[in-house]
Amino acid sequence: MDITSENAVVSYSPGAEASIAYIPTPLTGHPALMGFHRHLLADTVRTEAFIQAIECVVRPGQVVVDLGSGSGILALACARAGAARVYAIESDSLIFLAQQAAQANGLAERIIFIHQDSRRADLPEKVDVIVSECLGLMGLGGTMVPAVVDLARRYLKPDGRLIPQAITLFIAPVESPLHYEYVHVWEQGRFYGFDLATFQKTASNNLYIARFRPESFLSRPQQVAAVQLLTANVTEVSARLNFAPTRSGRLHGFCGWFEASLADGVTLSASPLAPPTIWRQLYLPLEKELPVATDSLIQLNFGLNLGLRLAGEPGFFRWCTEVTCPSRPAETMSLKQITLKSIPRKVETVHACHSERSEESLKTNSKQNFIEQNYFCDSK
Ligand SMILES: C[S@@+](CC[C@H](N)C(=O)[O-])C[C@H]1O[C@@H](n2cnc3c(N)ncnc32)[C@H](O)[C@@H]1O
């Protein structure tokens, strides 16, 4: 991710951004360090919360894993907190730079760098603590949380500790013309004389990282789920939520975020009410804005599936919305959305001289139909 004035959490000296920017290409420098990890380290809310949790949890002499070590910052913090050994596991070649940093800080003897995907890593001993900055979209989205759970099941001592220990997900319905119009740009106009409204379905069934203000909320936020990483199913979350609007307006979608419990008394929040972090919030846009009144009811059937149950199964976010009004039942409006809808279908090419319905496109489209029917707004 590039750092811009829009997404930077720590600001650089005035004018720096206008004068210099990293070009994210494998041809120059180390893209992961120069872009993504620089961005992570610039987030002091995130990084200090993790270091604080490490200082609370890691005891001198303990054995620790830093899963997804990246720049090595958390492995360094574990060694500084007194860990006897830290296994820093990282699949990216950035690990070799992290190793140099450990040497430069005089901590190389206590950090063992393992350049591997954690799911294939073998450790020579059980560990007291696993720390991982594994937080993805709404905390759980992505593959890192299941990787942490996998490693914990294999190597964490029965009384071992995990950082983070739990993730709580929240959602609020929002009115925000700014975010809605950004997503709906495709159907709003013509591009150089061409109609690109066919892109709209993909855009509307996508997820956006966005910054929201609480003034955008149409109702009080609700908790979607509270997931204890060691004991819960971390690959699938679903919830049916009812929101009573606190004001009338136009429903433009939902704002989602997480709070991670890193250690007892140490919480990292990506709420719009908390100091900004790299995660900002997640915007789940609506395909169409829906009017709401104070006597309406906004019902949301939310699902997050990491797609890890069966090989080849796609992951998805699903948000099915219904706005009802008891006094006007005929005016019920509903929208069924899922990120799987954003995957473009193959177009059957029909030329004047021949029509082609390729085997491949039939297979792709029927697989997609199957997925949409089976994962859509089930009764869960
Ligand atoms: C969000 S970064 C965190 C980096 C660092 N711990 C920090 O807090 O700044 C996650 C890192 O985990 C690595 N990663 C993700 N999944 C992994 C896995 N299963 N095994 C090893 N590394 C992984 C990525 O390459 C990335 O560098």
Q: Mind giving me the DSSP string for 247-303?
A: S-EEEEEEEEEEEEEEETTEEEE--TTSPP-TT-EEEEEEEEEEEE-TT-EEEEEEE
Tokens 């872009």 sit on residue: 35
Going from the C-alpha of 107 to that of each of 56, 86, 369, the distances in angstroms are 20, 10, 54
Residue 134, pLDDT above cutoff 70: yes
Residue 23, pLDDT above cutoff 50: yes
Residue whose Cα lies nearest atom 16 of ligand 1: it is 144
Q: Measuring from each residue's beta carbon to the nearest atom of ligand 1, which residues come in under 6 Å? A: 40, 68-71, 73-74, 89-92, 117-119, 133, 144, 147
User: What burial letters (b/e) apply to 188-209, b meaning 16+ CB within 10 Å?
Assistant: eeeeeeeeeeeebbebbbbbee
What confidence tier does 288 reach under pLDDT thresholds 50, 70, 90? Answer: very high
Write out the H or E segment, with its range, that includes residue 58: none
What confidence tier does 380 reach under pLDDT thresholds 50, 70, 90? Answer: very low
How would you classify residue 178: left for phi > 0, otherwise alpha for psi between -120 and 50, otherwise beta? alpha
The domain 167-347 having CATH identifier 3.40.30.10: the answer here is no
CA of 371 to the centre of ligand 1 (A): 30
CA of 222 to the centre of ligand 1 (A): 30
178, 255 contact by CB (below 8 A): no
> What's the pLDDT at 370?
63
218-250 per-position pLDDT tens digit: 999 999 999 999 988 888 999 999 999 999 999
Mutate-to-test residue for ligand 1 from 33, 71, 92, 137, highest number of ligand atoms within 8 A of CB: 92
Over range 5-32, report the average pLDDT.
Answer: 65
Task: Give the Cα separation of 115 and 118 in Å (integer).
Answer: 9
The ligand 1 atom nearest the CA atom of 89: 21
The ligand 1 atom nearest the CA atom of 69: 6
CA of 72 to the centre of ligand 1 (A): 10
The set of residues, in sequence order, having a beta carbon less than 8 Å from that of 101 and lying 6+ positions away, is: 71, 72, 76
Task: Give the Cα separation of 369 and 271 in Å (integer).
Answer: 35
Look at strands 316-324 and 333-338 and give their pairing. antiparallel
CA of 134 to the centre of ligand 1 (A): 7
What confidence tier does 201 reach under pLDDT thresholds 50, 70, 90? Answer: very high
CA of 53 to the centre of ligand 1 (A): 18
Report pTM.
0.89
CATH architecture of 16-165: 3-Layer(aba) Sandwich (3.40)
For residue 70, the SS3 value is: coil
Write out the H or E segment, with its range, that includes residue 16: helix 16-19
Mutate-to-test residue for ligand 1 from 119, 122, 144, highest number of ligand atoms within 8 A of CB: 144
Nearest to 253 by CA among 263, 267, 243, 266: 243
Residue whose Cα lies nearest atom 10 of ligand 1: it is 68
> What's the pLDDT at 379?
37
Task: Give the Cα separation of 132 and 277 in Å (integer).
Answer: 17
CA of 143 to the centre of ligand 1 (A): 10
Residue whose Cα lies nearest atom 15 of ligand 1: it is 68
The ligand 1 atom nearest the CA atom of 118: 20
**What percent helix, strand, coil does the chain show, rounded to 5?**
30, 30, 40
Mutate-to-test residue for ligand 1 from 90, 96, 122, 137, highest number of ligand atoms within 8 A of CB: 90
The ligand 1 atom nearest the CA atom of 121: 20
What confidence tier does 368 reach under pLDDT thresholds 50, 70, 90? Answer: low
Mutate-to-test residue for ligand 1 from 73, 133, 306, highest number of ligand atoms within 8 A of CB: 133
Neighbours of 74 (CB within 10 A): 25
Residue 273, pLDDT above cutoff 50: yes
Domain extents in the chain: 16-165, 167-347
CA of 10 to the centre of ligand 1 (A): 21
More confident residue, 329 or 202: 202
What confidence tier does 377 reach under pLDDT thresholds 50, 70, 90? Answer: low
Distance between start and end Cα atoms, the chain:
35
CA of 61 to the centre of ligand 1 (A): 24
300, 254 contact by CB (below 8 A): yes
CA of 338 to the centre of ligand 1 (A): 27
Residue 8, pLDDT above cutoff 60: no
Going from the C-alpha of 190 to that of each of 179, 185, 195, 196, 205, the distances in angstroms are 20, 10, 5, 7, 21
Residue 316, pLDDT above cutoff 50: yes
CA of 123 to the centre of ligand 1 (A): 17
> What's the pLDDT at 26?
72
Residue whose Cα lies nearest atom 13 of ligand 1: it is 68
Residue 184, pLDDT above cutoff 90: yes
CA of 179 to the centre of ligand 1 (A): 30
The ligand 1 atom nearest the CA atom of 132: 6
Residue 378, pLDDT above cutoff 50: no
Out of 169-173, 285-289, 302-306, 356-360, least confident range: 356-360
45-65 per-position pLDDT tens digit: 999 999 999 999 999 999 999
